[in-house]
Structure 1
Amino acid sequence: MRFAIMGSGGVGGYFGARLAEAGEDVTFIARGEHLAAIRQDGLAVTSIKGDVSIQPAQASDDPASVGVVDCVIVAVKAWQVREAAEAMRPMVGPDTVVLPLENGVEAADTLAEVLGKGPVIDGLCGILAWIEAPGHVRHAGVDPFVRFGERDNHSSERISRLKAAFDQARGVSAEIPDDIKVAQWSKFLFICAMSGIGSITRSPIGVTRQLPETRLIIERMLEEIDAVARAHGVAFPDDAAARAMQFIDAMPAESTSSMQRNIMAGQPSELESQNGAVVRLGRAVGIETPTNELIHAALLPQELAARAANDSPGAHNE
């Protein structure tokens, strides 16, 4: 299959490299020093699942030059999805599949608004990875997985074909859940609570889950997100919030979320797509979310300042 990786950072760089290693035709969409390094020396991935180097690697900052592909993997940050959707139009033909791997639960809706419902499927992933240096991605934690499916959960040839491609890739497990919405919201449940508590405390999960005061905040966030999900028709099991807390309790003590790391570095973050989304989606169905609302409000001044700084001339460099 012909793949384009829209956003070739930790997530896109890792999964794209694994697909290329397996023999798929992969083009990395990147920019700045990262793009220059990939073009010159290829893409190197240092991974707990085995290192890989794609050399030479196909890379571009111009989707129009790539042309129509079989699958676009969207791995930009959640706040960049709409802009990415507009940019990827030249790569999306009548048979193209668009697979979002963002945190949050709104990326597919945003992509469908721009590209139409036809190409877009639902997806999520799990991995701890980042750009170590231009042209170099480091995968340091989590056994990497992708889960995806048609938005109404029906079986399709294109989903089977996509899974077959991932099944050939080393260091990736691919799954088609029975209910992609439940899978997506289950990840959102724990990652949003982990992001929120980590971002306001600036502490790793091992600290916040042990202190009774901060553990209570985590539990309240989980309860609110659970209620919002059910109000939006997500068929959660009765113990969804308890399962998410068990997952949080089982994580390495030093774990932090990407949102927390961005906020601590003074960078734009996924605040609006995580705790902000809980507040927004809750209001849409009449569910109050006071804990998420407080966290969102407390972090918003810094978020707006980081966005303003990032939008200034010369601030963009991937």
Structure 2
Amino acid sequence: MKIATMATGGIGGFLAVKLTRTGHQVATIARGAHLDAIRAQGLTLEGAAGRETVQPWKASDDPAEIGPVDVIVFGVKGDALPDAARACLPMLGPDTLVIPFLNGVEASDRLLEILPEQHVATGVAKVSTTISAPGVITQTGAFNSFIFAERDSRPSARIAAFQAAINDAGSSAPHTDDVQREVWWKFALFSALSGITATARCTVGDMLENPALKDMSKAVLAETVALGRAKGVALEPGIEGRIWDALEALPPQGRASTAIDIEHGRPLEVEWVSGAVVRLAAQNGVAAPLNGALYALLQPYRNGRKA
């Protein structure tokens, strides 16, 4: 398959390495020192399988140089979505699949404002990765799962083909019959993980060891699940406990990308996490006071400012 990673951050970089190693043609869209390093030394993944380095099929900061591909792995920060989506247009062929792996629950709908509907899928990535140095992606923990489907969750040949490619590469792309449920499952977990580790400047271990933080995290998660149900998402009874079990299984030293960004003074995705809960809760008549508090506390850092 011909695959493009837009862009080649933690998620795109992880998949670019795995899929290149199994013979797929992967074009990595990147810029600056990260692009320079990929061109000169290849793209490296440091993770559970050790250190893996590949030379991508193409590496560029200009999607027009890539041309049409079968799949675009779309993994940019939420605020970068509009510009990145427009940049994808030269890579669209008649049946190109664009899979958003962004934090939040609005990426697929937002892509429809820019890209033709027949190209847009819905996806969620369950993996902890980051750019640790130019040309280097580091994975925390061994878990990695990529769940995606057509927007209506119907089976399709192009979804099945890319699932097979990821599974054959040693990662996991399980079938789902309800992709919205999967997206909201992670969103509930991430609303707590992101909001708490960023505002408290703490790790997962800190969240679990401090009784007050633990109780607040569970309540934030429950607010987000209630919002999903109010929107008609099929989140079954008791799912809060199962999501919490998954959070407890995360590496104790782990933090959300929001917490890492605030440490480095980078802009935050708060509008698409805590902010999205606040906005969607108001639209659906649901109370979300704790998510609202986290959203307010992160506002001074939204556009980039060291804590």
The TM-score normalised by the length of structure 1 is: 0.92
Between 135-144 and 228-237, report the one with greater CA deviation.
Answer: 135-144
User: Is residue 53 of structure 2 the alignment partner of residue 40 of structure 1?
Assistant: no
* Pairwise CA distance, 1:57: 4.6
* Alignment deviations for residues 43-83 of structure 1 (CA, whole Å, 9 cap, x no partner): 12222124321136510000111111111000111221121
In 2, are the aligned partners of 1:192 and 1:274 still within 8 Å (CA)?
Answer: yes
* Pairwise CA distance, 1:211: 2.2
* Pairwise CA distance, 1:124: 1.0
After TM superposition, the structure 1 = structure 2 runs for residues 154-169 of structure 1, keeping only pairs within 5 Å, are 154-169=154-169
Partner of 1:280: 279
Letter aligned with residue 25 of structure 2: D
Partner of 2:236: 237
Letter aligned with residue 98 of structure 1: V
Once residues 303 and 11 of structure 2 are traced to their aligned partners in structure 1, the CA distance between those partners, rounded to angstroms, is 25
In 2, are the aligned partners of 1:7 and 1:76 still within 8 Å (CA)?
Answer: yes
In 2, are the aligned partners of 1:205 and 1:254 still within 8 Å (CA)?
Answer: yes
In 2, are the aligned partners of 1:190 and 1:244 still within 8 Å (CA)?
Answer: yes
Letter aligned with residue 13 of structure 1: G
In 2, are the aligned partners of 1:41 and 1:56 still within 8 Å (CA)?
Answer: no
Once residues 82 and 245 of structure 1 are traced to their aligned partners in structure 2, the CA distance between those partners, rounded to angstroms, is 33
After TM superposition, the structure 1 = structure 2 runs for residues 157-196 of structure 1, keeping only pairs within 5 Å, are 157-170=157-170, 172-196=171-195
User: Is residue 260 of structure 2 the alignment partner of residue 261 of structure 1?
Assistant: yes
* Pairwise CA distance, 1:140: 2.9
Assess, with a 3 A threshold, how the Cα gap between structure 1 residues 127 and 3 changes in structure 2: closer, same or farther: same
Structure 1 outlier segments of 4+, above 4 Å: none
In 2, are the aligned partners of 1:205 and 1:253 still within 8 Å (CA)?
Answer: yes
Letter aligned with residue 110 of structure 2: T
In 1, are the aligned partners of 2:18 and 2:169 still within 8 Å (CA)?
Answer: yes
In 1, are the aligned partners of 2:194 and 2:258 still within 8 Å (CA)?
Answer: yes
* Pairwise CA distance, 1:142: 3.3
* Pairwise CA distance, 1:108: 0.9
Assess, with a 3 A threshold, how the Cα gap between structure 1 residues 132 and 255 changes in structure 2: closer, same or farther: closer
Once residues 305 and 139 of structure 1 are traced to their aligned partners in structure 2, the CA distance between those partners, rounded to angstroms, is 24
Assess, with a 3 A threshold, how the Cα gap between structure 1 residues 258 and 305 changes in structure 2: closer, same or farther: closer
After TM superposition, the structure 1 = structure 2 runs for residues 58-69 of structure 1, keeping only pairs within 5 Å, are 58-69=58-69
Identical-residue share of aligned pairs (%): 38
Letter aligned with residue 135 of structure 1: G
Once residues 188 and 197 of structure 1 are traced to their aligned partners in structure 2, the CA distance between those partners, rounded to angstroms, is 14
Letter aligned with residue 41 of structure 1: Q
Assess, with a 3 A threshold, how the Cα gap between structure 1 residues 252 and 135 changes in structure 2: closer, same or farther: closer
Letter aligned with residue 258 of structure 1: S
Partner of 2:83: 83
Once residues 49 and 75 of structure 1 are traced to their aligned partners in structure 2, the CA distance between those partners, rounded to angstroms, is 22
* Alignment deviations for residues 276-304 of structure 1 (CA, whole Å, 9 cap, x no partner): 11001111111121111111011101213
Partner of 2:222: 223
Partner of 1:312: none
Assess, with a 3 A threshold, how the Cα gap between structure 1 residues 111 and 159 changes in structure 2: closer, same or farther: same
In 2, are the aligned partners of 1:151 and 1:180 still within 8 Å (CA)?
Answer: yes
In 2, are the aligned partners of 1:130 and 1:138 still within 8 Å (CA)?
Answer: yes
Once residues 130 and 27 of structure 1 are traced to their aligned partners in structure 2, the CA distance between those partners, rounded to angstroms, is 19
Letter aligned with residue 33 of structure 1: A
In 1, are the aligned partners of 2:28 and 2:56 still within 8 Å (CA)?
Answer: no
The TM-score normalised by the length of structure 2 is: 0.95
Once residues 302 and 219 of structure 1 are traced to their aligned partners in structure 2, the CA distance between those partners, rounded to angstroms, is 24
Assess, with a 3 A threshold, how the Cα gap between structure 1 residues 48 and 41 changes in structure 2: closer, same or farther: same
In 2, are the aligned partners of 1:72 and 1:97 still within 8 Å (CA)?
Answer: yes
In 2, are the aligned partners of 1:38 and 1:57 still within 8 Å (CA)?
Answer: no
* Pairwise CA distance, 1:167: 2.0
3-state DSSP class of the match of 2:146? Answer: strand
In 2, are the aligned partners of 1:208 and 1:215 still within 8 Å (CA)?
Answer: yes
After TM superposition, the structure 1 = structure 2 runs for residues 91-130 of structure 1, keeping only pairs within 5 Å, are 91-130=91-130
In 2, are the aligned partners of 1:42 and 1:57 still within 8 Å (CA)?
Answer: no
Once residues 302 and 210 of structure 1 are traced to their aligned partners in structure 2, the CA distance between those partners, rounded to angstroms, is 26
* Alignment deviations for residues 10-49 of structure 1 (CA, whole Å, 9 cap, x no partner): 2111111111111011100000011111112211222212
In 2, are the aligned partners of 1:27 and 1:59 still within 8 Å (CA)?
Answer: yes
Once residues 93 and 191 of structure 2 are traced to their aligned partners in structure 1, the CA distance between those partners, rounded to angstroms, is 34
Between 138-147 and 267-276, report the one with greater CA deviation.
Answer: 138-147
Partner of 1:73: 73
Q: Which runs of 5+ in 2 are unaligned?
A: none
Once residues 103 and 300 of structure 1 are traced to their aligned partners in structure 2, the CA distance between those partners, rounded to angstroms, is 18
3-state DSSP class of the match of 1:259? Answer: helix
* Pairwise CA distance, 1:102: 1.1
In 1, are the aligned partners of 2:207 and 2:213 still within 8 Å (CA)?
Answer: yes
Once residues 142 and 190 of structure 2 are traced to their aligned partners in structure 1, the CA distance between those partners, rounded to angstroms, is 14
3-state DSSP class of the match of 2:252? Answer: coil
